[in-house]
Amino acid sequence: MIKAIRNLFRPSEGNPSAPAIPEGERVYAVGDIHGRLDLFTALVHAVDADDAGRVPARTTVVLLGDLIDRGPDSAGVIAAARDWQRRRRVRIIIGNHEEMLLRALDHDDVLRSFLKFGGRETALSYPIDAQAFNAADFADARDLLRAAIPAADLAFIRAFENAVKIGDYLFVHAGIAPEVPLEEQREGDLRWIREPFLSHRGDHGFVVVHGHTITAEPQFRPNRIGLDTGAFSSGRLTAIGLAGTDRWLIEARDQDGAITTHTRSAA
């Protein structure tokens, strides 16, 4: 049970068919970054410019987790996210890959999975010799990780949130267990779930905005919005803007090594 978020999840009053952000507020949610500092840097500039070009509002940025692993510069993404958070209101959700990193420092079985699913790239984005790391056994690899990753980075990741609720939207990494009271949701589901969440068609009482599951295009369903467009492999990092009942997309794309950004209306 996640007691820290017990009182956050109360469906907003109003028309359930038109989910909304409260008046005077604006939200940008960013999908899984996975070590793509180049895309993230471009998207940060695009979001800042988009926000500055709209009517003044209390703006919140939500990063949906999985900032690290698979892409080439997880350390750089962590630094950039921390810098963005210093400059504006940025709330960060913990993803399953951040969970694996934290647990890998103490558990061999988790370290094995962490390295298999993109953790090696994270390790080598810190000052670790690749040859030494590749030759290391699990104990030595853990020691190299502990020595190379700054304590400040680990503390920053440990402070990530499980979920954020704003208006009629709930922001999580992976999803929620359908028909389970929100105060009884498990951290494992918030960070790892796919089914039965993805295929569930029932009304959750809010729209769940999530990453975790890669799709070629952002997914819009009546009860959820999926924003993981596979940045590490597709070269597309996607964010959604929300204000009132309006929705729009901002994307950073790697097109043959040239990073461009695009803004378009959302479904």
Q: What is the pLDDT of residue 267?
A: 65
Q: What is the pLDDT of residue 4?
A: 36
Q: What is the pLDDT of residue 11?
A: 40
Q: What is the pTM of this model?
A: 0.93
Residues 227 and 104: their CA atoms lie apart, in Å, by: 27
With respect to residue 215, please indicate whether it lies within any of the assigned structural domains: no
Angle between helical axes of 96-104 and 151-158 (0-180°, round to 10): 130
CATH number at residue 67: 3.60.21
With respect to residue 154, please indicate whether it lies within any of the assigned structural domains: yes
Q: What is the pLDDT of residue 183?
A: 85
210 closest CA partner among 202, 219, 222, 200 = 219
State the 10-residue block means of pLDDT for the chain, 267 residues long.
Answer: 36 61 98 98 98 98 98 98 98 98 95 96 97 94 96 98 97 97 93 98 96 98 98 98 98 96 91
Residues 131 and 136: their CA atoms lie apart, in Å, by: 9
With respect to residue 54, please indicate whether it lies within any of the assigned structural domains: yes
Which residue shows structure tokens 């820290």? 4
Number of domains in the chain: 1
Residues 82 and 94: their CA atoms lie apart, in Å, by: 14
> What's the distance, Cα to Cα, between the start and end of the chain in Å?
34
With respect to residue 214, please indicate whether it lies within any of the assigned structural domains: no
With respect to residue 202, please indicate whether it lies within any of the assigned structural domains: no
> Please, are residues 12 and 199 in contact by the beta-carbon 8 Å criterion?
no
With respect to residue 70, please indicate whether it lies within any of the assigned structural domains: yes
With respect to residue 208, please indicate whether it lies within any of the assigned structural domains: no
> Please, are residues 9 and 206 in contact by the beta-carbon 8 Å criterion?
yes
- Provide the token pair at 120: 């090696």
Q: What is the pLDDT of residue 48?
A: 98
95: containing domain? 21-162+230-265
